[in-house]
Amino acid sequence: MKILLAGGAGYIGSHIALALLENGQDVVVMDNFDNSSPEAIMRVEEMTGQTVSLYEADVTNKKVTLAVFKKEKPDCVIHLAGLKAVGESIEQPIRYYRNNIDTTLTLLECMAKTGCKNIVFSSSATVYGEENAAPCHEKMPKGKCSNPYGWTKSMMEQILQDASVADKDMSVVLLRYFNPIGAHESGRIGENPRGIPNNLMPYVTQVAVGKRDKLTIFGDDYDTPDGTCLRDYIHIMDLAEGHLKAVDFCVENKGTEIINLGTGQPYSVLDIVKTFEKVNNIQVPYEIGPRRGGDLPAVYADVSKAEKVLGWKAKRTLADMCRDSWNWQKNNPEGYE
């Protein structure tokens, strides 16, 4: 089977590409390298001894994207393309709406023109909004998002659902990610943020490697066991393996399916810091800062549907996540540069 990864050279995409290749699939990657690196795909090829068909292209460019579809004839699309920084989306909402929604519309139009009927979408737990109490399950109504990035995910879910209603032969799987962290155990590929990291784990690893002085923890007075926010962290390779199951399900079923990818086990910010220090025997200096607007006390998944429908369950531990994150960072202090 041939899988097209739209935005496939980034953190999540590169790990999915690796898992797909190891599972015997053919992989095509389209990426404009706006927030990713071709080096990640080169390393995936080295690790697997296999070749990826890599196109440096913006998925919003319909002419170029259609040419790739016509040449490669993918059986399934995994849609990861888009801008993803929450803070930046608040500062540049029009750019986020234009880019992210255009990627989805362009992919759907190119699929329709070439007869590809299967798409797996990289969605987010952010669509549950602030109204839904944890654990979040797929039957909950979507909530009100706190930023344009979240709204683009919510809107793209709706577009994909509407497309599958209009075309009864179409199959859509909406995967709602919780908090992917970690790296491949080899340390060859991992998360490579540009500038100041938006997410917790790369900030922790950059403090540990000496690139940043200290970590700021935003608030320690939440109604949680240690006062810091609780989140559902999932190892990136568990997430990647979830996509293998999602692709298989997608090509065998019609309509739309919504599935959470998480562990169902919430950990606090301090749990992450303390576990990272313990398993890697390294100190992570931190300070407590004021709460950050929009942060909820606890967000984690009900993961029973993923196990029931996909036969998938996360198996790696928080210690694995922390160990593999540090293994990547210490061996690649400047990322892929």
- Phi-psi map region of 260: left, alpha, beta (phi>0 left; psi -120 to 50 alpha): beta
Question: What DSSP character marks residue 185?
Answer: T
| Catalytic residue status for 149 | yes
Say how far apart CA 241 and CA 251 lie, in whole Å: 16
Q: Compute the distance between CA of residue 108 and CA of residue 116 in angstroms, rounded to an integer.
A: 9
Q: Which residues have CB under 8 Å from 130's CB, separation 6+?
A: 143, 144, 146, 296
Q: What are phi and psi of 75, to 5 degrees?
A: -85, -25
Nearest 5°: CA angle at 283, between 226 and 321? 70
Rg (CA), the chain: 19
CA–CA distance, 300 with 260 (Å, rounded to integer): 10
First to last CA, the chain: 33
| DSSP conformation class of 301 | B
Which residue in 299, 306, 321 sits closest to 260, CA to CA?
306
Token pair for 161: 């659902």
Distance CA 251, CA 248 (A): 6
Q: Of residues 55, 96, 128, 149, which has the active-site annotation?
A: 149
Residues belonging to the active site? 149
